[in-house]
C-alpha cells in the first residue's frame, strides 16, 4: 500500500475530465490513502457527488457555508481544519476558471478556500484540463506561471482528442498517471525530510546471526539471514547517515557507503558495538544474537561416543539493553522482537525494560515474513504509545518506514542542527 496513512485533499472543478475522478479515488483508497473530495458547483454536472462520496467514504464538500444553522458550528471553519489535516492537495481537473481564482487568491467555494489554508510546506499538484486554445491563452498561462511561482507543481496536460472534437493539448492524464505522480510527490518530499533528519548522523546497525562455538566444527546459531539489518544500513546510508554495520557471518554484499565490521560471537559483537556507544546518534539492533553460549567450548572436534551429550550453556550479554540503559536522551535505540507467545505484551515489556525508543515486532507465522526472505510483516511500537502494523512489504520498504518512524525520536536540537 504505497499511500498508507496519507491524507489527500482532491479538488474537482467543472471540466469533462471530472468523470475520471471516481477511478482515481478508488486507486488512492486501494493504496491506503484517506481522501476528502472538494467539488465546485459546476463539477457536479460532470461527476456525481454521491458516487465520489461513496468511493471516498467521506462527504463531498462544495460550499463554504453550511446547509443549516444546525451544521453551522461544525462546518463554518471546515476549510481551516482541512488545510491542517491534509498533507497534499491535488486539483484535477483544474479548469481555466478555477486556475484563475487560485492564482488571484479568490475563495468563494470550499475548494478555493481550503487551497489557501493548506500549510506552505505541503505540496500542491495542479492538473490543468481544457481545450487547447484556452490552455494557451495568455491569461491562463499567466495564471499558471503565478501558481508555479507560489510553489505549486503544475503538470502539463496531454495531447489527444478533446471534448470540442478537436485534437490538441489539454487532456487530463488518466487516473493511473495521476496516481503515479502523487506517489512520486510523496516519495520525493519524504525522502527530502528524511535526508535532512539523517544527514551526518552516526548510525550503528547490527545484523545477521551470531555463532557460539561448541567445538572447532560446530556452533549454536539461528536462521537469520541479515537481510533486514542490511536493508536498514543501506537505507540509512542513502539518507546521508554515517553507517557502521556490525554483522554476523553472511554472504550479503556490503551496502554502498557503509562501514562493515564482521564478527562471529555475541561477545565479539558487543566489543565492536561498545566502541560506538558514545558517539552514535542511533543504534539499531537488528541482529539475531544468541541468548546463550557453551560454557566451555571444546578444542578440536568432539568425538561421537555417547548416546546423550550435554552442553552447559551460559547467558550472553544483552547488547541492546546495555546500550539502552546507558544512552543519553539525544540517542535513539531501536530493537527487534520475535515472539511466539503473547507477542504484543512481550514486545512492549522489552521496549520498556531496555529503554528503547522503538521496537519492531516481527511476525513468526505470516506468509512472506521472517528469516531468509526478501519481504516482512512487522508492527512498530513506539515509546510514545503509537502502534503501526505494516502490510507485507519488501525489507527495503520496511527499512524506510522504520527510519521514518525513528527519526521522530531524534532530539529537536539534532533535527535543527
303 belongs to an annotated ligand binding site = no
148 belongs to an annotated ligand binding site = no
CB-CB contact of 371 with 349 (8 Å): no
CA count, 13 A, side-chain hemisphere, 14? 10
120 shares its domain with 27: yes
Residues of the chain under the 70 pLDDT cut: 66-77, 411-417
Closest CA to 99 of 45, 68, 142: 142
* Domain end position, chosen among 158, 192, 226: 192
CB-CB contact of 336 with 285 (8 Å): yes
- Which of 189, 222, 346, 355 is labelled catalytic? 222
122 belongs to an annotated ligand binding site = no
- Preceding peptide of 319 cis, ω within 30°: no
CATH of the domain at 123: 3.40.50.1950
CB-CB contact of 294 with 210 (8 Å): no
* Domain end position, chosen among 165, 192, 219: 192
301 belongs to an annotated ligand binding site = yes
Read off the C-alpha cell for 347. Answer: 514486545
99 shares its domain with 239: no
The count of other CB atoms within 10 Å of the CB of residue 132 is 17
* Domain end position, chosen among 134, 162, 192: 192
Q: What is the crossing angle of helices 227-238 and 395-407, to 10°?
A: 60
Residue with cell 457536479: 44
pLDDT in tens, 118-153: 998 899 999 999 998 899 999 999 999 999 999 999
4 belongs to an annotated ligand binding site = no
With 0-12 CB in 10 A as exposed, 13-18 as middle and 19+ as buried, what is 115? buried
Examine residue 2 and state whether it is found in any structural domain, yes or no.
no
CB-CB contact of 158 with 124 (8 Å): no
Residue with cell 505470516: 366
318 belongs to an annotated ligand binding site = yes
262 shares its domain with 280: yes
What is the total count of domains within the chain? 2
Helices and strands, counts by H and E, the chain: 15, 21
pLDDT for 412 equals: 41
* Ordered alpha helix ranges (H), 242-338: 266-274, 319-326
Write the DSSP assignment of 17-48 as a string of letters: GGGGHHHHHHHHHHTT-EEEEEE-TGGGGTS-
Distant-in-sequence, close-in-space partners of 269: CB < 8 Å, separation ≥ 6: 206, 210, 246, 248, 263, 287, 289, 319
Examine residue 212 and state whether it is found in any structural domain, yes or no.
yes
391 belongs to an annotated ligand binding site = no
d(CA 138, CA 116): 24
At 89, which helix (H) or strand (E)?
A: strand 88-94
291 belongs to an annotated ligand binding site = yes
Q: Please state the length of the chain.
A: 417
Has 23 been annotated as catalytic? no
d(CA 231, CA 412): 26
Range of the domain at 357: 199-299+307-416
d(CA 402, CA 312): 38
CATH of the domain at 245: 3.40.50.10300
pLDDT for 127 equals: 98
Closest CA to 221 of 353, 81, 371: 371
pLDDT in tens, 361-396: 998 778 878 787 889 999 999 998 999 999 999 999
Amino acid at each position: 500500500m504505497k499511500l498508507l496513512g496519507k491524507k489527500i485533499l482532491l479538488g474537482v472543478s467543472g471540466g469533462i475530465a471530472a468523470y475520471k475522478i471516481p477511478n482515481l479515488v478508488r486507486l488512492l483508497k486501494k493504496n491506503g490513502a484517506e481522501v476528502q473530495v472538494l467539488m465546485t458547483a459546476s463539477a457536479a454536472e460532470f461527476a456525481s457527488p454521491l458516487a465520489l462520496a461513496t468511493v471516498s467514504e467521506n462527504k463531498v464538500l462544495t460550499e463554504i457555508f453550511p446547509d443549516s444553522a444546525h451544521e453551522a458550528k461544525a462546518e463554518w471553519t471546515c476549510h481551516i481544519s482541512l488545510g491542517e489535516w491534509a498533507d497534499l492537495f491535488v486539483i484535477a481537473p483544474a479548469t481555466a476558471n478555477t486556475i484563475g481564482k487560485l492564482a488571484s487568491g479568490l475563495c468563494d467555494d470550499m475548494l478555493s478556500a481550503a487551497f489557501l489554508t493548506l500549510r506552505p510546506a505541503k505540496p500542491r499538484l495542479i492538473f490543468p484540463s481544457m481545450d487547447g486554445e484556452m490552455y494557451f491563452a495568455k491569461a491562463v498561462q499567466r495564471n499558471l506561471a503565478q501558481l508555479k511561482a507560489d510553489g505549486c507543481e503544475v503538470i502539463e496536460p496531454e495531447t489527444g482528442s478533446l471534448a470540442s472534437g478537436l485534437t490538441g493539448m489539454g487532456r487530463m492524464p488518466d487516473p493511473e498517471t495521476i496516481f503515479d505522480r502523487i506517489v512520486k510527490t510523496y516519495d520525493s518530499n519524504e525522502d527530502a525530510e528524511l535526508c535532512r533528519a539523517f544527514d551526518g548522523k552516526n548510525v550503528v546497525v547490527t545484523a545477521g546471526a551470531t555463532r557460539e562455538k561448541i567445538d572447532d566444527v560446530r556452533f549454536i546459531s539461528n536462521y537469520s539471514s541479515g537481510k533486514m539489518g542490511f536493508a536498514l544500513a543501506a537505507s540509512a546510508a542513502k539518507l546521508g547517515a554515517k553507517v557502521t554495520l556490525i554483522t554476523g557471518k553472511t554472504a550479503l554484499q556490503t551496502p554502498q557507503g557503509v562501514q562493515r565490521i564482521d564478527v562471529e560471537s555475541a561477545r565479539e559483537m558487543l566489543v565492536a558495538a561498545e566502541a560506538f556507544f558514545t558517539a552514535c546518534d542511533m543504534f539499531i539492533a537488528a541482529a539475531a544474537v544468541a541468548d546463550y553460549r557453551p560454557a566451555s567450548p571444546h578444542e578440536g572436534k568432539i568425538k561421537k561416543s555417547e548416546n546423550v551429550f550435554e552442553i552447559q550453556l551460559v547467558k550472553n550479554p544483552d547488547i541492546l539493553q546495555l546500550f539502552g540503559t546507558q544512552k543519553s536522551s539525544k540517542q535513539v535505540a531501536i530493537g527487534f522482537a520475535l515472539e511466539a507467545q503473547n507477542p504484543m505484551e512481550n514486545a512492549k515489556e522489552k521496549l520498556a525494560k531496555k529503554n528503547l525508543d522503538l521496537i519492531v515486532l516481527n511476525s513468526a507465522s505470516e506468509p512472506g515474513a521472517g528469516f531468509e526472505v526478501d519481504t516482512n510483516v512487522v508492527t512498530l511500537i513506539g515509546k510514545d504509545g503509537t502502534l503501526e502494523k505494516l502490510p507485507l512489504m519488501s525489507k527495503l520498504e520496511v527499512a524506510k518506514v522504520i527510519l521514518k518512524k525513528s527519526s521522530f525520536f531524534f532530539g529537536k536540537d539534532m533535527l535543527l542542527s
